[in-house]
Chain A
Amino acid sequence: MAGNSAGETPGAPAQKPKAPLPKSRALVNEQTAGVYARAWEAHERGEPVGWSTAIFPQELCETFDVPVLYPENNAAAISARHMGEPFIQHAEGEMKYPINICSYARLNMGMADKMRKAESIQTQGIDPAMAPPAFLCLANNSCTQLMKWYENLSRNLNIPVFFVDCLFNYSEEEPAAHKIAYVRGQIENCIRQMEEFFGKKFDWDRFLEVQRISQTNRVLFNEIVALNARKPAPMNGFDLFNYMAPLVICRGKESTTVILTELKKETEAHIAAGTSTFRGEEKHRVHWEGIACWPNLGHNLKTLGGYGVNAVMNGYVTAWDVAYEPGDLDGMARAYQVSSTNSLTTPGIMKKRIASIDRFGCDGMLCHVNRSCKLMTFHIMVGREMIEEEAKVPVANFDGDQSDTRVFSEAQFETRLQGLVEIMSGNRNKNGNKEARHA
């Protein structure tokens, strides 16, 4: 093996230097590091740090200027770096949680328990390491299991939860007026409770500004995603998994505007130059369904690339498209109930996926049957028939998990992907190439 150590093999080829990160990616890394550093600094000063579910109304804590970390985002990052197993084992062993519950929850509750027992996460080489929380923010708009996860955190750590209970929209396309009023009332109540907890008044002018920044950022992200409808796509669709981080952890910050503006510029430059971050020829375009298989992201990416498959779009990254008019609290209450498609009916979700498959010119759909996220996964068991019938593209499923490494099988993934590729190739020969609508 080639290397730079004193013991390297004589005459071995030098390691290929890694390509420098695009500026936008470097900015994402810098932003993330800054968010964690700020939280630790606040913790060390004895100031409150929050842990929040991924689609909680972030505008509140942003307005209060209180640091917040996101366990789901943290679990994804730690899993992608293969550091999650000790926490999952701790949750299943010492804490007695079953394998059936969400692996993000197991990972995070294991980590929180180790923190509670004064085991320093920072000194264990865990990156990024979360500062311990003093309060929790919970919205159940993407998953109801979050409620038990956060309830357990709250009980075990003896800290309060600011809870926004969102109602699912199983029988209607749009949330009914009473649902909007219910969520608005809870947001207003959270503001009152937070004023008391943080010991400061809520600045409604700053809130309006945060809302404006949040809307600028979500619109920018949508514009970038839309650029990938180009054929060939200017981006490897898996890049979206990385660039959604600023929307999750800093949606109301101007630093995200800077990142997304840079990313948009880079993506447009790729279009102008006829280049792409997808390496090699884009032979097939697929729509990815489900959360990323974080521990196996590298393998997924390499295997997809090997078959010339670009997962140009996925239904997961749209969950932070929380669209409302700044100043319209009802609109905000509505938006937090519909941005995650998990809150919709199976036909409602599939209608969105079918439109997206058409818009992005996808030849097929690859679905991550995620052992952890049953809510998202179970839709696809029935939904795939709707996709096949309406969108007229083949669908293949593969088993995996967002954090638990025991579920995924490399050989099974490749066989299913190859089967899908062979069907897509056959369809292409039969029907000719499907043209994508240019953004």
Chain B
Amino acid sequence: MLTMGLDIGSTACKSIILRDGEQILARSVVPLGTGTVGPRKAFGEALDLAGVARSEIDRILLTGYGRFSFDDADGQMSEVSCHARGIYFLLPSVRTVVDIGGQDVKALRLSEKGALENFVMNDKCAAGTGRFLGVMAGVMNVKTEDLGALSEGATEEVSISNTCTVFAESEVISRLSAGVRLADLTAGIHASVAKRVASLVFRGGVVRDVALSGGVALNRGVVRALARELKIDVLVHPDCQMAGAIGAALFARQQL
């Protein structure tokens, strides 16, 4: 039994094909979000990697911000449920999932059996989201995916006092003009994101274990900063970026 989960985010698309809801056959990440060729590309790449045709997939489920905009699927579910399910599949000890998406931050509470019990999400503000990191990377002329490694060379943390993305961007520009080191500035940016995210996580309540989901979890600097803010270890699975897609594929399996 083959199922596919396609997570159409605002900045990237992730697809996964599962056999019998257990074995990952193929995974694809395309750094293009909804409204672009990203969803179709991620969809096609996963099929090619698994060496199967669309007709061989028993059920395809969509999730993510663009979940209503792709017609070659059998259904959709919210990214809230899919990230919870996906992380429980990857890290069964986790009770609190933090997902930093392109434009949403979520703190999810899971039951011992992995069921989503509750969630809190950010308000209508880009502070603390993946978009915030993307904007700051643009100002510093570095790739978003390189921010984590860059911050490892920090000797101090440059404080970013603004949480608003627009004002923080101006602040970063002024710090750059003042000649601060990129590594120190990046560490400060990570701390800014972590503070914002931690306040949301505290609002939902912190229950061990805590895991970070989504592409931002691959940024080691953010993981370190968040662990420091939460005063707790934050687990990260190598497939963290795929968690939403995995969850969708698991729900697709359940629906068969």
**Interface residues, chain A, CB within 8 Å of chain B?**
369, 381, 388, 394-397, 399, 407-409, 411-412, 415-416, 418-419, 422-423, 426, 430
Tell whether A422 pairs with B104 under 8 Å between CB atoms, given A399-B123, A415-B79.
no
- Measured between C-beta atoms, what is the minimum distance from A16 to chain B in Å? 23
A397–B120 touching, CB < 8 Å:
yes
| Chain A residue at minimal CB-CB distance from B118 | A394
B143 interfacial contact with A, CB 8 Å: no
| Chain A residue at minimal CB-CB distance from B80 | A419
| Chain A residue at minimal CB-CB distance from B68 | A414
Since A369-B123, A407-B124, A416-B80 are in contact, a sample of 10 more A-B pairs with Cβ atoms closer than 8 Å, ordered by chain A residue number, is A388-B118, A394-B118, A399-B123, A412-B121, A415-B121, A419-B78, A422-B77, A422-B80, A422-B116, A430-B115
What is the number of residues of chain B that contact chain A, defined by CB distance less than 8 Å? 17
Main secondary structure of the interface of B (DSSP, over half): mixed
**Interface residues, chain B, CB within 8 Å of chain A?**
65, 77-81, 104, 115-121, 123-124, 203
B80–A418 touching, CB < 8 Å:
yes
A395–B77 touching, CB < 8 Å:
no
Could you say which residues of chain A place their CB within 8 Å of the CB of B81? 419, 422-423
| Chain B residue at minimal CB-CB distance from A423 | B116
Tell whether A423 pairs with B120 under 8 Å between CB atoms, given A412-B104, A418-B77, A418-B80.
no
Q: Tell me the complex Cα distance, A412–B80, Å.
A: 11
Could you say which residues of chain A place their CB within 8 Å of the CB of B118? 388, 394-395, 423
Q: Tell me the complex Cα distance, A426–B84, Å.
A: 13
**Complex A-B, nearest 3 residue pairs according to Cβ-Cβ distance, in ascending order:** A419-B80, A418-B78, A422-B81
Could you say which residues of chain A place their CB within 8 Å of the CB of B79? 415
Could you say which residues of chain B place their CB within 8 Å of the CB of A423? 81, 116-119
B119–A419 touching, CB < 8 Å:
yes
| Chain A residue at minimal CB-CB distance from B119 | A419
Could you say which residues of chain B place their CB within 8 Å of the CB of A412? 104, 121, 124
Chain A to chain B contacts (Cβ below 8 Å), 12 pairs: A381-B203, A394-B117, A412-B121, A415-B79, A415-B121, A416-B80, A416-B121, A419-B78, A419-B80, A422-B78, A422-B80, A426-B116
Could you say which residues of chain B place their CB within 8 Å of the CB of A419? 78, 80-81, 116, 119
Q: Tell me the complex Cα distance, A415–B7, Å.
A: 14
Q: Tell me the complex Cα distance, A218–B124, Å.
A: 37
Contact of A396 among B119, B124, B203 (CB under 8 A): B119
| Chain A residue at minimal CB-CB distance from B121 | A416
Could you say which residues of chain A place their CB within 8 Å of the CB of B65? 411, 415
Could you say which residues of chain B place their CB within 8 Å of the CB of A408? 124
B104–A426 touching, CB < 8 Å:
no
